[in-house]
Structure 1
Amino acid sequence: MKQAQTSPDVTGLLLVVDSPGGGVTGGERLHEAVSRFAAVKPVVVSMGDMGASAAYMLSVPAQHIVALPSTLTGSIGVIFQRPDVSVGLGRLGIGVDAITSGAMKDQTDPTSTLTPEGRQMLQGLVNDLFGQFVSMVASGRHMSEEKVRSLADGRAYTGKQAVALGLVDELGDEDVARLWLRKRLNIGNASYPVLPLISDRTRSWYLWPGRKALLKGLLGGAFSSAIDREGLDGAVAILQL
């Protein structure tokens, strides 16, 4: 994207989004990259089945967002999952002692009991990340933060609902997004090729178009979903279905 941003051969960006979200930091980095691109060249987003949570976060800097009526989008929020296996270990007769430099150091450790103070600390982290998310949406969608917060209880919206709420600009598919980009760039019927930023040859095997169908067929849907989320660490902004 950095190269395309400065390349004279690139006049705009069609960003195809189809994701339930992911790590907050990853979403933030993509948000900033799209924001920098949109500051110098037009960006349009075309959402597929899903463009939710962190995937919505990275979409909001675009000048125009297109979604299908059935697209699931929004889901503005942050979740931090903190498993607690201490009770189960106790039943097995296993005890874990944590020697820490401070009372909060072991509060993300699933073998330690979450204290009220630890819960408050983790809630503070989530609240701060959520506030950052709200600010991104408010800036990108030209809304007040109060308006965004009224929509940001974590729920997803269909594309049809999202248009009425101002979270999405237009209903349609990728062709509709391309048409908007052509009009924005004042391009008539002339040839206007849209080329991928990354060629298919450089993609990893798990990014192949048929990967989800293959994984679900071989391993089952639940296991393939776990693979999709592998590597997500810390707080995530993701729509869980």
Structure 2
Amino acid sequence: MATAAEDLIDRRRLRRKLSFWRMSALVVLALAVVAISLVAGLPGQGAGGRDQIARVDIHGTVTENERLLRLLDRLRTENSVRAVVLSIDSPGGTTAGGEAVYEAVRKIAAVKPVAAEVGGTAASAAYLIASGTDHIVARRTSIVGSIGVLFQYADASKLLDTVGVEVNAIKSAPLKAEPSPFAPAPEAAKDMIRRLVMDTYDWFVSVVAQRRKISLDDARALADGSVFSGRQGLANKLVDAIGGEDEVRRWLESERNVRPGLDFVDRKPEKDGFHWPLFSAARSAIYGALGLDPAAGSLQEAVFGQIGHLDGLVSLWQPSQGRVGLQ
């Protein structure tokens, strides 16, 4: 009986030891995952400190994205980043957002080469961003241009009359809160908005003329809201070359003396800040499986997008329309 009791005690001790080591192994594994996530998410880590060409996506609606701006500023000072490439596929967005990213791109260009690789579209504010680079490469069938500014407002006064709703206001001045959706816009309000739009438009055109090295008159002729294919853009000096990554590499190595053979490394705001890369990857996978935008930062953005949240002046080209395609 004593032997049986001792065997039982030994088995219990063994089970406790096994449980301890199993738990220890799980803890070590969890710590390793956390450590890898933190190292992957630390600023300036990039591809293990190796020299690289950093590639940053500019896609969807352009806004004043603080995380993107922080990433661009970080790439400007990161020694292992020998050049920056903006991979652009965007119909544009807010004028303030385009201006902010444009200025960040120009700061990068002051210290290292920066180029734009246009995918499907670089229009309006997205083209403004592309013009901030030193070399624009597009596909033959890419869409570029739509240089211009837009201010839209609704007039729901007829609808309110129909349902019998009257909206009254006491204002400090006639142009305060004009144009209003509750009444037809007075001519003075239209003139005010027109001056606002044209002031921003003139600045946009001057930027294009300066950056693309064309006359102000030529830039203004192109800035009637028209969009152009990549080939048309090349003929109109809105694009520097036709191609993709290989053409960008050729320019960097032959024209800007970037060391041959460097890897293009995708750099994303989520991975270059103090975030959880594994969580971001899981979120993107779930959004993608549901048919939503995997790059969205929130469920609201994934479902509704950012179009409905653009206030003020925008520089946007047909966000809900299709692309030019070959069938």
Q: Which residue pairs with 2:19 in the alignment? A: none
Distance 1:191 1:73, change over 3 A: closer
Q: Which residue pairs with 1:219 in the alignment? A: none
Aligned-partner Cα distance in 1 for 2:166–2:207:
44
Letter in 2 for 1:115: P
Q: Count residues with an aligned counterpart.
A: 235
Q: Which residue pairs with 1:32 in the alignment? A: 103
Q: How does 1:157-196 map to 2 (within 5 A)?
A: 157-187=228-258, 189-196=260-267
Helix, strand or coil: the match of 1:230? helix
Q: Which residue pairs with 1:69 in the alignment? A: 140
The counterpart of 1:5, out of the listed 76, 79, 92, is 76
The alignment status of 1:214 with 2:291, answered yes or no, reads: yes
The counterpart of 1:124, out of the listed 195, 215, 219, is 195
Aligned-partner Cα distance in 2 for 1:125–1:111:
21
Distance 1:53 1:181, change over 3 A: same
Question: TM-score with structure 1 length normalisation?
Answer: 0.88
Q: How far did residue 207 of structure 1 move?
A: 7.1
Q: Which residue pairs with 1:229 in the alignment? A: 307
Distance 1:213 1:170, change over 3 A: farther
Distance 1:83 1:5, change over 3 A: same
What runs of 5+ residues in structure 1 fail to find an aligned partner? 217-222
Q: How far did residue 183 of structure 1 move?
A: 2.4
Q: Residue deviations 1:142-165, cap 9 Å, x none? A: 122111001100010010100000
Letter in 2 for 1:130: Y
Q: How far did residue 190 of structure 1 move?
A: 3.9
CA contact (8 A) 1:71 1:158 kept: yes
Aligned-partner Cα distance in 2 for 1:130–1:115:
23
Q: Which residue pairs with 2:169 in the alignment? A: 98
**Which is higher, the Rg of structure 1 or of structure 2?**
2
Distance 1:139 1:206, change over 3 A: farther
Report the aligned-residue RMSD: 2.7
Distance 1:203 1:103, change over 3 A: farther
Distance 1:191 1:21, change over 3 A: closer
- Which has the higher relative contact order, 1 or 2, with Cα contacts under 8 A spaced 6 or more apart? 1
Q: Hey, which of these two has a bigger chunk of helix by percent?
A: 2
Letter in 1 for 2:292: L
Letter in 1 for 2:195: G
Q: Residue deviations 1:178-237, cap 9 Å, x none? A: 3322323434544444341535538698977x7599139xxxxxx989624132111110
The counterpart of 1:144, out of the listed 192, 197, 215, is 215
CA contact (8 A) 1:14 1:43 kept: yes
